[in-house]
């Protein structure tokens, strides 16, 4: 289902209303809810509105994040773990917060560790965005695999993805953006019972068009959302301008 709003603030609040409603509904049926969160400026308005939902029993939420740079210093504010800690993880007491370690001495082992966590705590809700190149998490077109046998893997970021990090103001220049990252794969993301995708801004308009109208192939990773009946796409006037 696609929802279009006048601006990104209204969009973020509307997405938070729907997501919080789903969290509360699930907590009425089960002891804990497992949620995967995206880390990007596109999520700012959504996360700001979500943390204000006082009726959510956050102590019954297990939180995960979906990707992380490799080899940024642990205390670097540009890590995705740091972003989520500032925006939501540090704002409430969760049952558990499960970080990907981009500085693990053995990246393969770290991927397997996190994949095991995802199997132990199957995702109920996935909150994600779409990259300018159509990526979901760090599944850029050249590494996206709709039938990936892995749940978590190391990837090399493409030029468009790395440039977006500069465009978003996360890094001063392309030379500062890490070339490699750990990401949840497409099957891991789509395994969520409910998927909520928040995508504001004119720079995302082409990716949104391909999501809605493009062929469902790895060239357009986000087009896989059309295969999920429980996926919701939240857009603002700018990101939906080509539809």
- CA 96, 180, 209 angle in degrees (round to 5)? 85
Digitized pLDDT (tens) for each residue of the chain, 243 residues in all: 899 999 999 999 999 999 999 999 999 999 999 999 999 999 999 999 999 998 999 999 999 999 999 988 878 888 999 999 999 999 999 999 999 999 999 999 999 999 999 999 999 999 999 999 999 999 999 999 999 999 999 999 988 888 888 888 888 888 888 889 999 999 999 999 999 999 999 999 999 999 999 999 999 999 999 999 899 999 999 999 999
Token pair for 126: 């996935």
Where are any strands of DSSP class E within the chain?
2-5, 33-37, 61-65, 67-69, 96-98, 125-128, 152-156, 180-184, 194-199, 231-236
Where are any strands of DSSP class E within 92-185?
96-98, 125-128, 152-156, 180-184
């Amino acid at each position: 289902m696609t929802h279009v709003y006048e601006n990104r603030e209204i969009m973020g609040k509307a997405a938070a209303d729907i997501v919080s409603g789903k969290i509360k509904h699930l907590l009425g049926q089960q002891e804990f809810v497992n949620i995967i969160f995206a880390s990007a400026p596109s999520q700012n308005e959504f996360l700001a509105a979500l943390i204000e939902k006082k009726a959510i029993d956050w102590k019954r939420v297990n939180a995960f994040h979906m990707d992380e740079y490799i080899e940024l210093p642990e205390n670097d504010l540009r890590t995705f773990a740091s972003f989520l800690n500032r925006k939501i993880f540090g704002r409430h007491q969760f049952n558990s917060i499960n970080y990907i370690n981009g500085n693990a001495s053995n990246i393969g082992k770290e991927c397997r560790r996190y994949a095991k966590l995802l199997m132990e705590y199957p995702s109920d809700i996935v909150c994600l965005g779409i990259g300018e190149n159509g990526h979901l998490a760090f599944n850029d077109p050249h590494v996206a695999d709709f039938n990936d046998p892995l749940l978590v893997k190391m990837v090399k970021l493409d030029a468009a993805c790395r440039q977006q990090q500069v465009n978003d103001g996360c890094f001063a220049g392309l030379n500062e953006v890490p070339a490699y990252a750990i990401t949840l794969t497409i099957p891991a993301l789509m395994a969520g019972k409910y998927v909520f995708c928040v995508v504001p801004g004119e720079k995302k308009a082409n990716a949104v068009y391909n999501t809605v109208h493009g062929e469902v192939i790895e060239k357009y990773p986000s087009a896989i959302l059309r295969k999920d009946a429980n996926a919701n796409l939240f857009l603002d006037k700018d990101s939906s301008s080509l539809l």
